Structure 1
Amino acid sequence: SDLWRWQLWEGCVPGLGTPRKGAVLSPKQLFLRQSCSAGPGLVTATDMVNYWQKVFETNGIPEARESSQYIVSFVLGAKTFQSLDSKSLHTPLTALQQEQIQQLSHKRLQRMPVQYVLGEWDFQELTLQMRPPVFIPRPETEDLVSLVVEEELQKCENSALCFPVPVPHPVILEIGCGSGAIALSLLCKLPQSRVIAMDKEEAAVDLTRENAHRLQLQERIHIIHQDISHSSAKELLLWGPIDVIVSNPPYVFHEDMASLDAEILCYEDLDALDGGDDGMRVIKTILALAPSLLKVSGSVFLEVDPRHPDMVEHWLQAHPELLLTLHAIHKDFCGK
């Protein structure tokens, strides 16, 4: 029978509260009340972080300090505020830099996620372009990539009867590629792999293609604009049977959608999150199609809600013709 692995992850980004009542503070008025460490009339990176942190906090923006640090460091060409040296922290900012920080910060005041504000974000050591409404990859999903890589390397070690150990060269199918984070990370981690990435949203397909070209991985990825519920096995087997199917599908229970953070509800593609009444609408579609795609002992890796393991196991028991076995459940780094 085919081997089916799935992953248990749930988003663990800190909860984002409802904005407090009150008007947005005027940047000009607030800035006149702030002392500047670089001297009269001069503004440093540290001043800007402290200033915008206060503005964000006053207006109920979640993770106020982190948001201000990311924006200021981005304008200064750094990944993190902590990576800036002392000179960068205390050198007066130019008028252009101050204007750029203000423009980005006003986007954050509208509850736009920092990833969209900056237009890029790091995932598995890759810097990927980001833009709304394409789903933003979460840090816990990096574990999903690591587990796929571990299995492929383990397969080679187990099958190696001679030296050197063969290099894995799997054909991987990602369903719901979004920005391309999972697919492109796997291509980097498994240099001999090839990936078929599909998404039903044109914006996601375009962004995955753009990120693939930026990373010079376009020769090893085939990107399909298609809904998995309308796909046939023939269309997805252009490189032969699949070794691994991987997906971070929509798995939020429909009744839980209304309680999601404002950043998500206002900017991200809700279809990439809403899994239907039981959160399993797309999960069931993937599992039903998997046997016609996978090689013998192929694997399916899924990120799911903590309530899904028992539900999926019962569903599989009701569909023995699929010959899929629940092999393992892994918790994310949040313990969920």
Structure 2
Amino acid sequence: MNLLLAEVAQATQRLAAAGVPSPRFDAEELAAHVHGVKRSQLHTVPDGDFDARYWEAVSRREQREPLQHITGRAFFRYLELEVGPGVFVPRPETESVVEWAIDAVRAMDVAEPLVVDLCTGSGAIALALAQELPRSTVHAFELDEGALAYTRRNVEASPDRARVHLHQGDATQAFADDRGWDGRFDLVISNPPYIPLTEWEYVAPEARDHDPQMSLFSGEDGLDTIRGIERVAARLLRPGGAVVIEHADTQGGQVPWIFREEGGWTDAADHRDLNNRPRFTTARRASL
């Protein structure tokens, strides 16, 4: 075993002791980042090239600083995004939300789909949809200026940037001042804040201490923003258009009820992620 792999083994033990959920992966990812190689190439780093900055990075992760803040990047579906302090780090579970959305739009057989992503954060959802729905136009809303700095850079770096339109504004008031968009969208999608304020102490340190608070918490039951997005989606979607919203696994029995038939919705249902946990709700705007 070369020196770097031996150090990675030690780092794995340290991260595990600190409670990091994926200690081996993180130890390897940090090593790859510091040494400028892929994880699969760690064994090729000569002993003489070992960089002592690796232990600085491990120490930061040991303190539960997010891995993505240390490396400055996050991977989401087929994207590599710039992230860091001030923007919500996209999670793997959101990929299931995007996959459902892509399948739903493709099934609509619309020539040029029109999509709006509310609470876009880093732009992960908006850019993934633009990439995988190549004839789509995606509007993305983000309120926080700190997050928008990352969103803008990610959009500008994307080959699909011409089809992604970024707006600074409250997701629950999207296009409120321009009603020409009402009833035009095929899809409304969101990974909104949904953690109840009462559950602050139970949130993982990586999120609680580093993600923007406005991207995490939303009222006493966590559903304030989702209720606002339901109203926006009802206004923006065309008949037959779809909405998909991520939520906490404890909210699977609550969110579908927000999309009531008397409110003009149909087919409201909850869906499970790859870990078989209820994680997102979908509904369709009733046809006229």
Q: Into which bin does the TM-score normalised by the smaller protein fall?
A: 0.7 to 0.9
- Post-superposition CA distance 1:20-63 (Å, at most 9, x none): xxxxxxxxxxxxxxxxx45xxxxx32022023223334545443
Cα contact 1:134–1:203 (8 A) shared by 2: yes
CA change 1:98–1:193 in 2 (3 A) is same
**8 A Cα contact 1:233 1:293, kept in partner:** no
Q: What is aligned with 1:123? A: 76
The one-letter code sitting in structure 2 at the alignment partner of 1:92 is D
Structure 2 distance, partners of 1:237, 1:138, is: 33
Does the 8 Å contact 1:198/1:205 carry over to 2? Answer: no
After TM superposition, give the deviation of residue 65 of structure 1 in Å. Answer: 2.3
SS in 2 for 1:276: coil
Residues 138 and 325 (structure 1), Cα distance of their counterparts in 2 relative to 1, 3 Å cut: same
Q: How does 1:312-327 map to 2 (within 5 A)?
A: 312-317=255-260, 320=262, 322-327=263-268
User: In 2, distance between residues paired with 1:237 and 1:147?
Assistant: 27
Aligned to 1:176: 119
Q: Pick from 251, 254, 261 the counterpart of residue 308 of structure 1.
A: 251
Aligned to 2:89, the other structure's residue is in SS state coil
Separation in structure 1 between the aligned mates of residue 111 and residue 12 of structure 2, nearest angstrom: 47
Measured in 2, the distance between the counterparts of 1:58 and 1:145 equals 34
Contact 2:172 2:231 in 1 (8 A): no
**2 CA distance for matches of 1:227 and 1:188?**
25
Q: CA deviation at 1:192?
A: 0.7
State the match for 1:66 in structure 2.
Answer: 25
2: CA distance, partners of 1:93 / 1:324: 64
Which SS does the other structure have where 2:178 is aligned?
helix
Structure 2, unaligned runs of 5 or more: 278-288
Higher relative contact order (CA 8 A, sep 6+): 1
**Structure 1 residue 48 and structure 2 residue 7: aligned?**
yes
Runs of 4+ in 1 over 6 A off after TM superposition: none
Flag the structure with higher strand content. 2
Are 1:335 and 2:288 counterparts?
no
**TM-fit CA distance, 1:190:** 0.5
**Residues 183-222 of structure 1 mapped to structure 2, 5 A cutoff:** 183-222=126-165
**Which amino acid in structure 1 is aligned with residue 22 of structure 2?**
E
2:183–2:239 contact (8 Å) kept in structure 1: no
- TM superposition shift of 1:151: 1.2
More divergent stretch after superposition (241-250 vs 324-333): 324-333
CA offset digits 1:238-260 (Å, max 9, x no partner): 69811100001111222222211
Contact (CA 8 Å) 1:233, 1:292: kept in 2 or not?
no
Give the CA deviation at 1:98. Answer: 1.1
Partner of 1:280: 223
Q: 1:305 to 1:326 in 2, by over 3 A?
A: farther
SS of residue matched to 1:115: helix
In 2 relative to 1, CA 203–248 (structure 1 residues): closer, same or farther, beyond 3 Å? same
Please report how far the alpha carbon of residue 274 of structure 1 lies from its aligned counterpart in structure 2 after TM superposition.
1.0
The equivalent position to 1:98 in structure 2, one of 48, 51, 64, is 51
* In structure 2, distance between residues paired with 1:137 and 1:78: 23
Cα distance between partner residues in 2 of 1:267 and 1:315? 30
TM-score w.r.t. structure 1 length?
A: 0.75
Q: Is the 8 A contact 1:132 1:267 kept in 2?
A: yes
Work out whether 1:149 is the aligned partner of 2:102.
yes
In structure 2, what is the equivalent of residue 137 of structure 1?
90
Q: Which has the larger radius of gyration?
A: 1
**Structure 1 residues 109 and 237: CA distance shift in structure 2, 3 A:** farther
Gaps of 5+ in 1: 1-36, 39-43, 157-166
Q: Is the contact between residue 134 and residue 204 of structure 1 (CA under 8 Å) also seen in structure 2?
A: yes
Distance 1:217 1:237, change over 3 A: farther
Alpha-carbon separation, structure 2, partners of 1:108 and 1:285: 36
Whole-angstrom CA distance in 2 between matches of 1:248 and 1:293: 17
1:198-244 Cα distance to aligned partner (Å, 9 max, x none): 11111222211111111232211111111123444343756981110
> Which amino acid in the other structure matches residue 46 of structure 1?
L
